[in-house]
Amino acid sequence: MKVGLALYQLLDDAALVEGRIYPEQAPDGAETPYIVYTVTSNRPVDDKRRTPVDEANVDVVTVHSTYGTCMSLADNVRATLDRKSAEVTDAIAGNIDVQSIRYTNETTEISSDRKLYAAIQEYTIRITR
């Protein structure tokens, strides 16, 4: 799915977590801080120019062992993604036209057993097909 490839590239280019960006789930014992992203839905739509577009909802989860660092990382992720448009180049998919990214919600969770904090941000991303 192109939206996942584009999201990974945008986050990796921002150099927020030294490449520790994972689709769907982080590996067991992953070093913090890290980012996990999940595409929760992807639907085709047309824009005003009748250009075929996919509109996807994604969750971006930032994880760290301290609350303050987790929230700071989440703020940096939001600054990297919210209200952005870009053309991203992926080695497999080629050029991906990201029309827009919109921040829509954020919640915080604590994993007591693993002693980790997580900021879960929701975004809507529009990508030209």
Two tokens, residue 7: 């999201």
Task: Count CA atoms closer than 13 A to 39's CA, side-chain side.
Answer: 18
CATH of the domain at 38: 3.30.2000.10
Residues in the chain: 129
Q: What is the 3-state secondary structure (H, E, C) of 56-79?
A: EEEEEEEEECCHHHHHHHHHHHHH
Domain count, the chain: 1
pLDDT the model gives residue 48: 72
**Angle 89-92-93 from CA coordinates, rounded to 5°:** 60
Q: What pLDDT tens digit does each residue of the chain (129 aa) get?
A: 789 999 999 999 999 999 999 999 999 989 999 999 999 999 998 767 777 899 999 999 999 999 999 999 999 999 999 999 999 988 888 899 999 999 999 999 998 777 899 999 999 999 988
Domain ranges, residue 38: 2-128
β-strand 34-46 against 21-23: which pairing, if any? parallel
Q: Does an H or E element contain 105, and which?
A: strand 94-111
